[in-house]
Structure 1
Amino acid sequence: MGLTSVFLEVKDKNVFILGTGEVATRRANRFLDKGSNVILAGDFISEELLDKGAILEDLSNVDKLVKWCDIVILASGDKDLSDYVSKISEGKLVNRADCPDEGNLVIPSSFFIGDVEISLFTGGKSPLMAKELRKKIQSTISSKDILEIQLQDYCRNLLKNKIPNQKDRKNKLYDILKDDKVNMLLEESKLDEAKVYVEGLIENI
C-alpha cells in the first residue's frame, strides 16, 4: 500500500457507514463531531447519534447510499455484504474496519492534548501498541507545551505585521521559544503575562 498521513476536511461531507455496532458508532461520532452528514445502515443506533444528526437506513438501501456519499466506512460483521459494498464503491474513499489493507482510507487512533491532535497508526500490526504509545505520549507532553503552542500562534500573528520574510519570522519565533523569561512564565502557567512580555519584544524589532 502507498499510504501517507493527511488531515482531511470532512465538514459537510456525506459519510455512509455500513454497520451500527461499536466500531461503527465510534466512526460515526468522529465524523459527526467534525460536521459531516452521516448515515448508518443497520439495525439500531443510539439516541446520542440521533441527537447529533445521524440517520439510520435499512440495509437494503446500500446501493443508493454509496452513490450519495463521499466516504464509505465498512464496519459490519457481514463480510459478504462488506465485500459487495467495497466493490461498488470504486472512486470513493473507503475505510474497511475489518480489512484495512483492502480500503484506501485509514482512520487511525486519535486523541487530543489541548489543541494538539495526535494520530497513531501501526500499519495494522498492533492496535494494542498504539494504545500503549498513546499513554507514553500523553505522559510526555506537558501543560507548558500546550501553552507554548498558544503563545507561538499569538506571536506568529503579531510578527506577520512586523517581519515580511517567513525565514526571519521563524528565527524570531525560535528566539521566543528559547527565551528564559518566556519559559519561566509558562512554567508558572502565566500565559497572559507571557503575551505582554513578547509584545514588548516584538514591538522593539
Structure 2
Amino acid sequence: MTKCYPVALKLSGKLCVIVGGGKVAERKVQSLLECDAQVRVISPELTSRLWELANNGNIQYKPDKYKPADLYGAFLVISATDREDVNEAISAECRRRNILVNVVDAPAKANFFVPSTIRRGPLSISVSTNGKSPLMARLLREDLEALYGPEFGDFLEFLGSIREQAIENINNPQIRHKILSALADQETIRLLREGYLEQAKERVNNVYCSCGDQS
C-alpha cells in the first residue's frame, strides 16, 4: 500500500473548486472558507446554506454542469457529485493539469485525502485512514475531541506569546533553548485535561520567569 505524506496546506487566497452542491459539498466549502480559501462552486443546484453563502458573496457560484474550463486557475479541486462519470472526468482533467484533486468516496481517483480534523484555535489534530475508512477516521476524531477541549486552544495562544517573548528578549541561545524546552510538559497537559487552564498558564509563566532571570 502506498503511504501518504501528511501536510498542512496554506490556502489563504488560493482558488479551490468544488463540483457539487449537496450536503457533502457544503461541508467541504465550510472547511475551506475557515482556511480563508477562495471558493468556487459548480453545480446546477445548491443547498440552502450554499445559496446563502453565494448570495452573500462568500463563494463564487456557477449554476451549471461541470466543464473542464471550470478548473482554470484552480489550486485544489474537490469532486462531490454522485455521478461516477463526472468524478472520473474531473479526476482525469486535474491529473492532466497537475492540480490537487479529491474525489469524495473514491480514493483511487484522488491524489490527496482530506483527514478528519478537530480544531482548537491554533491546534489542529487530523486523522487519516488513507481513504480506507472515513467512518473510522471520524470515530477516532470524536475520541480526540473529548481529550482535547477548547482550553488547549486558549493555552496555545498564551504559550505562543510567551515563546515570542523568549525569542525576542533572551539573547543567550542556550538559555533560550532551555526555556523553550521547559515551557510545556506532561504535567501541563494533565492540568489542561483536568480543566485547570489558569494553573497551566501560571506554571508556564513561572518557568519562563525563573529561567529568564538567568539571562
TM-score by length of 2: 0.78
Aligned to 1:159: 166
Kindly state the Cα deviation for residue 159 of structure 1 after the two structures are TM-superposed: 1.9
Secondary structure of the structure 1 residue equivalent to 2:41? strand
Question: What per-residue deviation string (whole Å, max 9, x for no partner) do you get for residues 99-156 of structure 1?
Answer: 1232112111112134311111112222222222122212223566555534432332
Distance 1:151 1:36, change over 3 A: closer
- Partners of 1:145 and 1:60 lie apart in 2 by 43
- Partners of 2:152 and 2:113 lie apart in 1 by 28
Aligned to 2:81: 76
The runs of at least 4 aligned residues of structure 1 exceeding 4 Å deviation read 142-148, 178-181, 183-186, 190-196
Kindly state the Cα deviation for residue 29 of structure 1 after the two structures are TM-superposed: 1.2
- Partners of 2:67 and 2:4 lie apart in 1 by 27
Aligned to 2:62: 57
- Partners of 2:112 and 2:186 lie apart in 1 by 42
TM-score by length of 1: 0.81
Say if 1:159 and 1:169, in contact at 8 Å, map to a contact too: yes
Aligned to 2:93: 88
Secondary structure of the structure 2 residue equivalent to 1:119? strand
The runs of 5 or more residues in structure 1 that have no matched partner are: none
Kindly state the Cα deviation for residue 196 of structure 1 after the two structures are TM-superposed: 5.6
Any residues of structure 2 matched to 1:19-34 within 5 Å, and which? 19-34=20-35
- Residue identity in the other structure for 1:35: D
Aligned to 1:100: 107
Aligned to 1:173: 180
Distance 1:28 1:145, change over 3 A: closer
- Partners of 1:132 and 1:66 lie apart in 2 by 33
Kindly state the Cα deviation for residue 176 of structure 1 after the two structures are TM-superposed: 3.9
Aligned to 1:110: 117
Distance 1:202 1:47, change over 3 A: farther
- Partners of 1:7 and 1:35 lie apart in 2 by 14
Say if 1:16 and 1:39, in contact at 8 Å, map to a contact too: yes
Identity %: 23
Q: How many residues align?
A: 203
- Partners of 2:151 and 2:53 lie apart in 1 by 35
Distance 1:164 1:71, change over 3 A: farther
Say if 1:16 and 1:38, in contact at 8 Å, map to a contact too: yes
- Could you tell which deviates more after superposition, 18-27 or 32-41? 32-41
Distance 1:68 1:177, change over 3 A: closer
